[in-house]
Amino acid sequence: MNETDFDMRAAMAGAPDGRAGAWALVRGFAGYWGEPLGSRDGFTEAELDAAEQRLGLRLPVALREAYRLFGRRADLTSSQDVLLTPDELHVLDGALVYRAENQGCAHWGVLLADLALEDPPTVGRLDLADKSQERWEPWEERFSTAAAVMAMSEKLLEDAELSVFFAPGDELPDGLEELPALGCHYRWYAGPDVLLLRIEEDFMVARARTEAALDAL
């Protein structure tokens, strides 16, 4: 399929069903909203094997697939928050940490007890002044879903001329249709050549594909 034929609604509807759907969404999204994924956009098997040897554990299949597919694509992994490189993966209080908020205020991981699952649930943890109150809390039911959400949200958060960051309290622009749910904390909307992300009612960012679409938004 050519990236110009990408059906966002259909791809998002299939993403929560498993790894294949999530990676199809990431591939289509990357090509439609940026550059198609290439053979050099992921980490190598050797780099992931080295991480396993260093940590003394096996990485879940879904995590390895995501790192191999687009782990080096900063626009899909690290525009705002940061996907850790294989040599930065580490264990914190019973979880393998794979992602960090850009100022270290939060981390995301997979519980060590779930590493044997091919597509395990993910957890999140806030950095608190009182460290005794920090806890891993459920985030997404599948790592593949969390990875697809990461790719889409980080692209929208990229510092680009075609991105729009709304002020707190701004209303949803007219003329946008809600897309299928993807991610427990996110709502997605689309218009002609426009994609908008709303996070827990208090933050919105949108991206346009053309100057005309940006002006219309």
Cα torsion at 10, 13, 14, 18 (round to 10°)? 160
H or E stretch covering 75: helix 74-77
In total, the chain counts a number of residues equal to: 217
**Residue that has been written with the tokens 């622009």 in this structure:** 173
* Mean pLDDT, residues 187-212: 92
**Distance (Å, rounded) from C-alpha 9 to C-alpha 189?**
10
Give the CA angle between residues 161, 1, 71 to the nearest 5°: 55
Distance CA 191, CA 97 (A): 35
Residue 158 sits at the vertex; the CA angle it makes with 153 and 160, to the nearest 5 degrees, is 135
Q: What is the mean pLDDT of residues 17-35?
A: 95
> Which of 150, 124, 11, 156 lies closest to 71, judged by CA?
150
CA-to-CA distance for 54 and 30, rounded, in angstroms? 31
pLDDT in tens, 126-154: 987 777 778 999 999 999 999 999 999 99
The pLDDT value recorded for residue 4 is 56
Residue 194: CB atoms within 10 Å? 21
Neighbour count for residue 141 (Cβ, 10 Å): 14
Token pair for residue 75? 């626009």
Q: Is 104 left (phi over 0), alpha (psi -120 to 50) or beta?
A: left
pLDDT at 1 over 50: no
Give the orientation angle of helix 19-33 with respect to helix 143-156, to 10 degrees. Answer: 10
Instruction: State residue 109's pLDDT score.
Output: 98
Tell me what pLDDT residue 102 has: 87
pLDDT at 129: 73
* Exposure on the CB side of residue 81, measured as CA atoms within 13 A: 17
Question: Mind listing the domains of the chain with CATH numbers?
Answer: 3-153 (3.40.1580.10), 156-216 (no CATH)
| Amino acid 97: pLDDT | 98
Partner residues linked to 187 by β-bridges? 198
Q: Look at strands 203-208 and 177-178 and give their pairing.
A: unpaired
Q: Please compute the mean of the pLDDT values over residues 197-212 and round it to a whole number.
A: 90
- Across the range 143-172, mean pLDDT stands at 92
Residue 3: predicted pLDDT: 46
**For 104-121, what is the mean pLDDT?**
96
Average pLDDT of span 84-106: 95
Percentage of residues in the chain having pLDDT higher than 90: 81
Q: Is the pLDDT of residue 106 over 90?
A: yes
Mean pLDDT on 96-119: 95
